Amino acid sequence: MITVIRSSASSEERAQLMTLLCRVSGSQRPIATIRVNEQEVIALDGSILDAQVRTTISQLRAVERIIPIKTPYKLVSRAFKAQDSTIVVVMPWVPTLW
């Protein structure tokens, strides 16, 4: 499941969301957010959450929307992002020793 955070969410609203996600997921570590195409998102295993918890999360002010994704690679799934991803690989310059 991918939770998209509203860009206008206050720090208190974000903290409330993070606290709830840590509590319901059983995570002892802080939940990390990721920036994807100018949006802040959180990727979690949605199978650990029941429908009532997902509804509660979706009603928080910090949450723009929740995208349920069944694939193992959530952030590159077509369900999350329809456009092709482009990855630029920059190789360090290594002088040849001829």
What are the domain boundaries of the chain? 2-76
Q: How far apart are the first and last CA of the chain?
A: 53
Q: What is the distance between the alpha carbons of residues 98 and 93, in angstroms, rounded to a whole number?
A: 15
H-run or E-run covering 35: strand 34-36
Helices 51-58, 11-25: crossing angle, 10 deg rounding: 170
CATH number for the segment(s) 2-76: 3.30.70
Q: Kindly report, residue by residue over 46-78, the tens digit of the pLDDT.
A: 777 788 888 899 999 999 999 887 766 666 667
pTM here is: 0.66
Q: Kindly report, residue by residue over 5-25, the tens digit of the pLDDT.
A: 999 999 999 999 998 888 887
H-run or E-run covering 18: helix 11-25
Q: Residues of 40-49 as b/e, b for ≥16 C-beta within 10 angstroms?
A: bbbbbebeeb
Q: Which residue has the tokens 């939770």?
A: 3
Phi, psi dihedrals of residue 36, rounded to the nearest 5°: -130, 115
